[in-house]
Structure 1
Amino acid sequence: MNDIDQAAPQGENAMPAGRRISFERLRERTDELELLISGLLAFALLTLPTHLFQAWVGSELHADGATWYVLQFAFNIGVGLSYALGSAFVVHLAIRGYWVGLVGLKSHFPSGIRWERLSSMGAGSQRFYRSMIGELGETIDRVDRTASVLFAMTILLALTLTWIGVIGLSLLIPASLIGLLFEDSERATFIAFAVPYVAFLVGGMAIFALDKLMMRRARRRQPAQGLELAMNRLLRVFSAVTLQRLGGPVQFTLQSNMGSVGFNTVYLLVIFLAMTIGGLQIVSSTSFSLLSRYRVVTSEAVDHGMLSAHYESMRTPDDAMLRYPLIPSDRIEQARLRLFIPHRPRLDNALAQTVCVDHGDNIATDRAAADAAVACMASIWTVTLDGQPVALSDFVPMERRDLGMRGLVGYLDLQGKVPGRHDLHLRWNSEGSERGVLRRRDYAIPFWYDPDVGASAQSPPAPAVADA
């Protein structure tokens, strides 16, 4: 026997043969490991959604069809994962901090709560609180168990959400590539995505049905070798796809000790909330306030008044999701007003397939490509200034790197206009209905023409007249 064997612990604390880890020794440091991991991940995860949102805003405008859905799915998974796990780790840190405080109290006051010294509390109140709280050591154990369960549940949710993202993207990306081979790319993409997804659901229901059928045959003492063989083959595939070897130990331990109903309710609810958080962030980014209580200056009133998203001098990062027509400012001093009309692929491409030549695809080259772009956009947009139609034939295509957008730009002639308020009105898809993605959309942009300010700034000061 070598020295290592001689030094091995004996008795009931000895490690079983073949085990590399002493759980009794490792358990003493689990709380430290949980605190370290939670502290590192909590605040890092809560700051990640801001960067993900900025990246999504900068990319989703340029996408269309299946590509847009891929970006949307990836964004929802990333934001949901960050918020759900970050919040869970913060709660875990709070529980562990409470546990540390209780342990400190126990070390300084070994006897715990001395109920006999609580003279202001009656006997009935003491019996109630004794039954509810118990001894200090019992409370420490409960808090310790809660923190460990929450930490394990958070890790399981992290694995689940990450793997949902991987599986979803592994289905969406090939489906998008297949869709590009067909004229109706969106329908082809949907079919290419739906077929393996439905097959996955049917396989899951088949496993459940085979399991119940085997139990019924077992009660009747009938052979079920063929059913078991088929179920085992399906289980091998599903275990590999869902990474049960990695997440199964955590899931089945929690499920068997917490109860299937309670575990499944919490598990599915958190996953659902995580998948919807990204959508809520997008809605909040396009809304002025989710807690809007404006009964006088309503959203309808502002839509026919002034929106900062229409004026380049007023736009802020909060307006990044509002891809509206733009003018430089609410006060115009020059005789030419620059108007930028954005091209939004997700909206314009679908409409261009019906109102533009070549099904909306600009296949022209050189100057003809610019002319085709202007002609197509002119059939989509209607512009009026003070009620008078504005022709878009003199507009040109433009790329705005500062805004991350492409579109048309033109300069409206203000010479002869009286100083004061003027109203610019744009309508997208004037033949559209009032509902749906391709609904008619109106944009009102009031501005004030003030040419005297520009003239006075450019003219030299008048010479001083000497006194006679």
Structure 2
Amino acid sequence: MSEALEPGSTPDPGSTDHPDAAGRFARLRERTDELELFISGLLAFALLAVPGRIFDAWATSTVHTEGVYAYALWFGFSTSVGLCYVVAVALIVHLAIRGYWVGLVGLKIHFPEGIRWDRIPLLGPVSRAFYQARVGTLEQSIANADRAASTLFSATLLFALTMVLIGAGSVLLLALAGAVGALVGNTDRIALIIVSSFFGLFIVVNLVPLTLEKWIARRTARGLPSARIARTMRGVLTINQWLIPMRLLLPVQLTLQSNRYARNFMVAYFVAVMVAMSIGGLQAVGSAKFSLFNRYDVVTTEAVEEGMVSAHYESLRVERDRLLRYPMIPSDVVSGPLLRVFIPHQPQRDNGLARRLCALPDGENRLRGAAAETAAVRCVGRLWKVTLDGKPVALEQFVAMERRDLEMRGLVGYLPLSALPPGRHDLRLVWNPDGPDRGTARHRDYRIPFWYAPDPSR
């Protein structure tokens, strides 16, 4: 019970003890369903169109970088895409529940008596009792649907805020760690230390209060003082407050957690976060693979890799091939006397190998002018072995090239074909030919068949 007001005093309008507080909350409650429907309808289907643009931005940017910067791009991409998909699906479900609730309210208005069990045909006393016990009244169904819709809507907002904080915080941390690493040197190692230290601190400040709370409870049960431990615990909680915006997240989280099944709520909450973090990976894998689910028992992946893959031919590439950064030729049929071959340079894959094979200071090409281009061609050429119909192709005559149409840089060379007979020919390119069979540094074999059909008019 609230304390009685002093004579002549005025109740605080913002307090829940104010005589009109219940009325104000009731009036707000009459509008929340409308606001929920408006927000869900506005965002649900709009969010489904966003992941495609995020994927395009990530695919365009990630090819140019490596190390901690690539991790920052990946983390931002995966959290953003997962956020959009999970929130969109949750809001669509919310719209369905709220629509069901609207239908129940309409039935209640037109049929105030609700379900009239005695007038339902083909129901005997046993069936009627069974259904009455499990279905309940129309009023109960309305209340359950209303509660489910509001709970889902609030939980979705909580999840969205969590994902935004995780994504933005992690990308900012990685960017700062990369900047510090670039100033100190050995960017990736320094950045890894900073990021690991931060997440270690985050785990500690969340686990230590739980341990100290149990310790204080045991000491209190034995009649021992715990003032110093309590001060330490409050200090840890203060640090945690700076890491997590408690006033933004906890009102929703603690309300839902204390009014629903607490353990089940937290499990569902963390499962949703993990699912969201995995969606980006599935989208990237799905874009790189021909099909996530297939039954190609005859024309297998191994078979087409020894045959023809459209990503090797610029005229056959499509939007889904943008993650397949393969060596390329213009077309599967060549009529001119020269064959253009483009070998892409991928920093995430090539830089580590180049630091071992190329005599560049700190693994970087710091030369200027023609010397820079010569060093680039010589270095990338050491990563590849190229043959045409089994005969070695010298890469010294290749030149460095920037392909803005492909959003890639690499080497380009023009192979003479006039001495070849018409018909099929096979171009083979092997990356890191002396590499292992497994791992990111494994050798990679690309076969590009093409048909030479010289134009008689030339």
**Which TM-score band (shorter chain)?**
over 0.9
Aligned to 1:3: none
Determine the structure 1 residue equivalent to 2:113: 111
Q: Hey, what's the Cα distance between the residues in 1 that align with 2:271 and 2:327? A: 41
Aligned to 2:260: 258
- Aligned CA distance change for structure 1 residues 399 and 73 (closer, same or farther; 3 Å): same
State the one-letter code of the partner of 2:456: A
Instruction: Describe the superposition over 1:295-351 as per-residue Cα deviations: whole angstroms up to 9, x where unpaired.
Output: 000011111111110001000001010000010000000010000000111111111
Indicate whether 1:300 and 2:273 are aligned.
Answer: no
Does the alignment pair 1:282 with 2:284? yes
1:267 to 266, 269, 283: 269
Distance 2:230 2:363 in 1: 55
In the other structure, the counterpart of 1:205 is 207
User: Are the equivalent residues in 1 in contact too, given 2:315–2:331 (CA < 8 A)?
Assistant: yes
| TM-score, normalization by structure 1 | 0.92
Question: Given that residues 330 and 447 in structure 1 are in contact (C-alpha distance below 8 angstroms), is that contact kept between their aligned partners in structure 2?
Answer: yes
Q: Is the 8 A contact 1:384 1:425 kept in 2?
A: yes
**Residue pair 1:360, 1:376 contacting (<8 A) in 2 also:** no
Residue 417 (structure 1) aligned with residue 384 (structure 2): no
Mapped contact 2:202–2:243 kept (Cα < 8 A): no
What is the distance in 2 between the residues matched to 1:120 and 1:203? 62
Rounded to whole Å, the distance in 2 between the matches of 1:21 and 1:72 is 49
Contact 1:385 1:425 in 2 (8 A): yes
Q: CA deviation at 1:259?
A: 2.1
The equivalences for 1:12-27 within 5 A come to: 16=18, 22-27=24-29
Partner of 1:395: 398
Identify the residue that residue 383 of structure 2 maps to in structure 1. 380
Secondary structure in structure 2 of the residue aligned to 1:312: coil
Q: List aligned pairs for 1:9-158, cutoff 5 A.
A: 16=18, 22-158=24-160
1:229-268 equivalence runs, <5 A: 229-268=231-270
Q: Report what 2:363 is aligned to.
A: 360
SS at match of 1:43: helix
Contact 1:385-1:422 at 8 Å conserved across structures = yes
CA drift at 1:170: 3.0
Supply the AA of the counterpart residue of 1:50: G
2:440 pairs, out of 437, 442, 454, with: 437
Q: Which of 436, 446, 451 does residue 448 from structure 1 map onto?
A: 451
Secondary structure of the residue that 1:173 maps to in structure 2? helix
User: Could you tell me how far 1:184 is from its partner in structure 2?
Assistant: 3.4
User: Taking structure 1 as reference, are residues 21 and 167 closer, same or farther at Cα in structure 2, changes over 3 Å only?
Assistant: farther
d(CA) in 2 for partners of 1:436 and 1:366? 36
Q: Which amino acid is 1:376 matched to?
A: C
The equivalent of 1:464 in structure 2 is none
Give the CA deviation at 1:182: 4.8
| Letter aligned with residue 287 of structure 1 | K
CA deviation after TM superposition for structure 1 residue 18, in Å? 9.6
Question: Which amino acid in 1 is paired with 2:152?
Answer: L
For residues 334 and 264 of structure 1, what CA distance do their matches in structure 2 show? Answer: 65
TM-superposed deviation, 1:116: 1.7
Quote how far apart the aligned CAs of 1:19 are.
5.7
Counterpart of 2:323 in 1: which secondary structure? Answer: coil
Is this contact kept in 2: 1:49–1:82, CA < 8 A? yes
Q: Quote the Cα distance in structure 2 between the aligned partners of 1:128 and 1:278.
A: 46
Partner of 1:402: helix, strand, or coil?
coil
Per-residue CA distance 1:88-136 (angstroms, 9 max, x = gap)? 1110001001111111111111111222222223332222221111111
Q: State the distance in 1 between where 2:251 and 2:189 align.
A: 40
Letter in 2 for 1:172: L
- For structure 1, the 5+ residue unaligned runs are 1-7, 459-468
What does residue 345 of structure 1 align with? Answer: 347
SS in 2 for 1:320: helix
| TM-score w.r.t. length of structure 2 | 0.94
- State the shift of 1:77 in Å: 1.0
From 319, 335, 338, the counterpart of 2:337? 335
What is the distance in 2 between the residues matched to 1:352 and 1:441? 16
In structure 1, the residue corresponding to 2:448 is in which secondary structure?
strand
Alpha-carbon distance in 2 for matches of 1:439, 1:151: 48
Which secondary structure does the structure 2 equivalent of 1:154 belong to? helix
Shift of residue 23, structure 1, vs aligned partner: 0.7
Contiguous gaps of at least 5 residues in structure 2: 1-9
